Amino acid sequence: MIELLPLLLFVGAIFILLLGYSVAFSLAGTGLLFAAIGTMTGDFDSVFLQAIPNRLFGIMNNDVLIAVPLFVFMGVMLEKSRIAEELLDTMSALFGTMRGGLGISVTVVGMLLAASTGIVGATVVTMGLLSLPTMLRRGYDPKIATGIICASGTLGQIIPPSIVLVLLGDVISSAYQQSQLDQGIFSPETVTVGDLFLGALIPGLMLVGAYIVYLIYRSIVTPAAMPAIPQQELDDIDNLWARAAKALLPPVFLIGAVLGSILGGLATPTEAASVGAVGAMVLSIFKRSFNLKVLREVMRSTTQVSSMVFIILVGASIFSLVFRGYGGDDLVRDFLTDLPGGVFGAMALVMLIIFLLGFFLDFIEITFVVVPIVAPILLSMGLDPVWLGIMFAINLQTSFLTPPFGFALFYLRGVAPATISTSQIYRGVVPFIAIQLVMLAALAAWPALATWLPNLVYG
């Protein structure tokens, strides 16, 4: 019976989450409940619980996680400064005269917003409010329109600076050090959030390119579903290029400042996040959208999102401590190492589990609960930590789109007009899910897509 307790703990936590209870308190409550039961039956050593204060202090003392509220502040401030609206109007005018041009514009703007904000929910809602009515009015097929918005909105998962990569970077770093210590390496190497940022650049841009290629293909095969905007409705081309420069330069400059400071070794990701936060305020001042009311709204949103992330991290920390106290990590290690196919079989199973959990759980829950359990074992098998982190990130991005509980689908459903059915949204994202799975397979076949740039920059 003792061997089954870690499995029952994990299944119990998932069941309580599916009932709709708060994530943080579900994880912490389930862990403490099983710890109490195990203490009474003699199956759990309560000494493990004495490590909780040290774990909580470690979370509060973690410099990397300071980047989370700073990047959230940056994203929310940019959302309030109407940069997305200007970008979308300008890019639509530039590409709108070609079939599928409006859809390509939404994809490019989604990429820029992803690199500017890193917040999936904000990007999907913003794009849904701004672009969906325009696409429907221009005669776009609702399935294609909703699929483009959901897919481009989730690019914030993989294109840096991404909050997902910040959280994954912290978890992968701890897992990498633990795996080396388990192998008797007492001077462990480290992996940083900057490594993951670099590793995500090429796969992220390839994903954007794949989306655009698919849209061009659809515009050729089914031109009526993606009509062009008549030329007479647009400004003269010289005026358009001037508008494009004015709309593009500010976010591109901010992205360059944030990523450039990291790539150039001038700042850590946390310091670069502060550059982004200050830069977002400066841009909003230039856009004349900065005032005390906006600042108050941004601060409130930042506090809410950051509090949610950190309280989930606290709950997940308690849960993982009890899981290890029951010997759950040994159970998972034995199971994965005994699988047929060796490292490939173990990796394939873990990716399948994360993909399936993405149907029901948020990326934060998977990052804090599942990844710390499986990552040390996979890394002990010799996998590259940067490659593993990017594989997880793309898989988690796919989970945002998978029906029936993909969060991007919920975000868009909340702002889409009543004429758009939920089934149309579900059907619209299927091709983009297939593209992401192909990208995942390509990254599995050619790990250098994720590792080449970090090795080039950092050696």
The pLDDT tens digits for 230-270 are 666 555 555 667 776 777 777 778 877 887 887 777 777 77
Q: What pLDDT is attached to residue 339?
A: 76
Q: How many CB atoms lie within 10 A of CB 8?
A: 14
Query: Which of 110-119, 186-195, 270-279 has the least mean pLDDT?
Result: 110-119
State percent of the chain over pLDDT 90. Answer: 8
Q: 116 vs 190, which has greater pLDDT?
A: 190
Distance CA 50, CA 150 (A): 44
Q: What is the mean pLDDT of residues 142-159?
A: 85
Residue 3 has pLDDT above 70, yes or no: no
Query: Which of 16-30, 101-115, 223-237 has the least mean pLDDT?
Result: 223-237
pLDDT band at 207 (very low <50, low <70, confident <90, very high): very high
Distance CA 31, CA 316 (A): 9
Three-state DSSP at 117 gives: helix
Rounded to 10°, the helix 163-182/193-221 angle is 130
* DSSP string across 254-294: HHHHHHHHHHTTSS-HHHHHHHHHHHHHHHHHHTT---HHH
Q: What pLDDT is attached to residue 219?
A: 87
Nearest C-alpha neighbor of 196 from the set 439, 433, 392: 392
Q: How many CB atoms lie within 10 A of CB 444?
A: 16
Q: 114 vs 222, which has greater pLDDT?
A: 222
Output the CA torsion 103→106→112→114 (10° steps). Answer: -110
* DSSP string across 396-417: HHHHTT-TTT-HHHHHHHHHS-
Share the mean pLDDT of the chain. 80
Under DSSP, the state recorded for 161 is S
Q: What pLDDT is attached to residue 180?
A: 81
Q: What pLDDT is attached to residue 31?
A: 85
* DSSP string across 61-96: T-SGGGHHHHHHHHHHHHHHTTHHHHHHHHHHHHHT
Q: What pLDDT is attached to residue 75?
A: 75
pLDDT of 192-202, one tens digit each? Answer: 888 888 898 89
Distance CA 79, CA 62 (A): 27
Residue 187 has pLDDT above 70, yes or no: yes
Q: What is the mean pLDDT of residues 275-302?
A: 84
Three-state DSSP at 15 gives: helix
Q: What pLDDT is attached to residue 249?
A: 78
Residue 205 has pLDDT above 80, yes or no: yes
pLDDT of 399-439, one tens digit each? Answer: 778 776 677 777 787 778 878 888 888 888 899 999 999 99
Q: Which residues in 162-189 are b (16+ Cβ under 10 Å) and which e?
A: bbbbbbbbbbbbbbbbbbbeeeeeeeee
Distance CA 89, CA 406 (A): 28
* DSSP string across 295-308: HHHHHHHHHHHHHH
* Phi (first) and psi of residue 254, to 5 degrees: -65, -45
Name the E strands within 287-389: none
Q: What pLDDT is attached to residue 121?
A: 65
Q: What pLDDT is attached to residue 213?
A: 92
- How far apart, in Å, are the Cα atoms of 57 and each of 61, 62, 161, 346? 6, 9, 26, 33
Q: 443 vs 76, which has greater pLDDT?
A: 443
Query: Which of 66-70, 265-269, 298-302, 432-436 has the least mean pLDDT?
Result: 265-269
Q: What pLDDT is attached to residue 2?
A: 60
Three-state DSSP at 459 gives: coil
Query: Which of 34-38, 148-152, 286-290, 453-457 has the least mean pLDDT?
Result: 286-290
The length of the chain, given as a count of residues: 459
Residue 360 has pLDDT above 80, yes or no: no
- Radius of gyration of the chain measured on its C-alpha atoms: 23
State percent of the chain over pLDDT 70. Answer: 92
Kindly state the tokens that stand for 389.
């982190």
pLDDT of 395-406, one tens digit each? Answer: 888 877 877 667
CB 443 within 8 A of CB 394: yes
Distance CA 222, CA 99 (A): 10
Q: Say if residue 282 is exposed, middle or buried (CB neighbours under 10 Å; 0-12, 13-18, 19+).
A: middle
Q: What is the mean pLDDT of residues 290-301?
A: 85
Rounded to 10°, the helix 193-221/385-399 angle is 40
Residue 122 has pLDDT above 70, yes or no: no
pLDDT band at 116 (very low <50, low <70, confident <90, very high): low
Instruction: Give the chain's end-to-end CA distance (angstroms, integer).
Output: 49
Q: 373 vs 231, which has greater pLDDT?
A: 373
Q: What pLDDT is attached to residue 352?
A: 86
